[in-house]
Structure 1
């Protein structure tokens, strides 16, 4: 089997894209779709073994990828990694700023170290990756950057550190879209809602029942797939989105538009799209 993308074959032939957080979840899926569309993909992650595993998957599917270990919170590490990627692949056409992480806690339970760790990962790291991609390559050639954020409109209770960082990333997206436009660089963001991805298995056991109930808060009454996020990311990287910049696309089945006043009955005619032939269901959703 191979990735069943909705986009035309060969769309990214000869192009090179960095995908951070490419060792799992949405990043892994996006890397596979980009490779299936002809791109050379540079996988970046903190754990070498995870990006190595995805690199092997892509090569097994006849795609091209490289794997790079990098802590995106460290400026010199980011600078050196981007330089190495350009040296290995000979060019750079874009960046998918997907790496991130957080833990569940009310604001009163977050200490300074925890707050700063999440902000450095979800905001500072994304800034560093984008800045280096721009200064080392895209400022000369043009290209596209897609930042992965989250549904933080109306606040993000239980994950206030991540909500603040993601909101900052949206503002960074808007600023970079203006400052870098003269170089032919477009910068956009996507905000996934509740996506059935491996990251759901990282939360503690007491959150399992809550995670399983999330689909009830979505107007179309289901969670999204990794492929439904990846397809939008790939579109925004493509020439079809040549007049889109500084925007944030919500991929959430209308969840961010929901209202407690309006009832949400069972929905129909809403079959998910899943083009990722290696996708797996998170354990938390498959357990009895």
Structure 2
């Protein structure tokens, strides 16, 4: 991975104009690390007041300090998206503090690797709550408390699960549910001028990869060999699509899920990927860091 990187910019180098979200308020759940952290930085660099949420205040404070140091506007809210009462109260407090909510990025989630036969009901329920129920609660409350009256844009996070999700069946089921929920919300909420879309990242070199432990290191390091682009994606390549979907440039885009996966689902055992150099990257995130599991490759 490191051989394909160019030197990082001195500040976030977004493809959008610097004032694209000036005067707007955008929520990013799970903004204390990984892709959520990157999205929060990009939105702030584009003029938004970004609200990062998560369960751990210390992680949020770290990212908030980065954004502030870079000259951006940021707020934090620590709560559990899986708890309905906490979500209602947190969104109400944000509306009271900031007024209209222009955008929501339902980024928070999490899962663990396991074959289906080893997943307990408790484990299955926890992953569905992380990746589906929590996103539904956030979207519903942001709609009910702000966007129903003022309009807005929502981007949900799913995953590359189009061919099933062996080893993470609980997450695949939840993500497939979110794809369908995205379509329903886009239709039902269109009358309030609310657009709802989703992104489906594939193998992204993000800090989340370090959460799987040493047993998965070999698999993670080999993922780049299984995409037509011969590399993993970068956080900034996901953030760029999310920010576009939140922007006026996507004013006629709703109810869709955009894969960001380097073409990985196209793999065919009948036509192996040609051996070639990794495709060029787009890395506009000036504070990006490579996951520990990929360092030295």
User: Residue 187 of structure 1: SS of its match in structure 2?
Assistant: strand
Aligned to 1:13: 22
Residue pairs, 1:136-285, within 5 angstroms: 136-268=145-277, 270-285=279-294
Once the 2 structures are TM-superposed, how far is the Cα of residue 56 of structure 1 from its aligned partner? 0.7
RMSD (CA atoms):
0.9
CA separation in 2, counterparts of 1:269 and 1:56?
34
User: Residue 205 of structure 2: SS of its match in structure 1?
Assistant: coil
User: Residue 213 of structure 1: SS of its match in structure 2?
Assistant: helix
Equivalent in 83, 87, 90 of residue 74 of structure 1: 83
CA separation in 2, counterparts of 1:287 and 1:80?
45
CA separation in 2, counterparts of 1:146 and 1:272?
23
Equivalent in 76, 84, 101 of residue 93 of structure 2: 84
Q: 1:219–1:267: 8 Å Cα contact kept in structure 2?
A: no
Q: TM-score, normalization: structure 2?
A: 0.95
Residue pairs, 1:12-31, within 5 angstroms: 12-31=21-40
Q: 2:28–2:53: 8 Å Cα contact kept in structure 1?
A: yes
Residue pairs, 1:26-175, within 5 angstroms: 26-175=35-184
Q: Which runs of 5+ in 1 are unaligned?
A: none
User: Residue 277 of structure 1: SS of its match in structure 2?
Assistant: coil
CA separation in 2, counterparts of 1:125 and 1:148?
11
User: Residue 118 of structure 1: SS of its match in structure 2?
Assistant: helix
Q: Which runs of 4+ in 1 moved over 4 A?
A: none
Q: 1:71–1:77: 8 Å Cα contact kept in structure 2?
A: yes
Query: Please, which moves more after superposition, 249-258 or 227-236?
Result: 249-258
Q: TM-score, normalization: structure 1?
A: 0.98
CA separation in 2, counterparts of 1:261 and 1:40?
49
CA separation in 2, counterparts of 1:269 and 1:137?
44
Q: 2:14–2:240: 8 Å Cα contact kept in structure 1?
A: yes
Q: How many residues align?
A: 288
CA displacement 1:244-270 (0-9 Å, x = unmatched): 000000001111222121110223472
Q: 2:182–2:197: 8 Å Cα contact kept in structure 1?
A: yes
CA separation in 2, counterparts of 1:251 and 1:45?
24
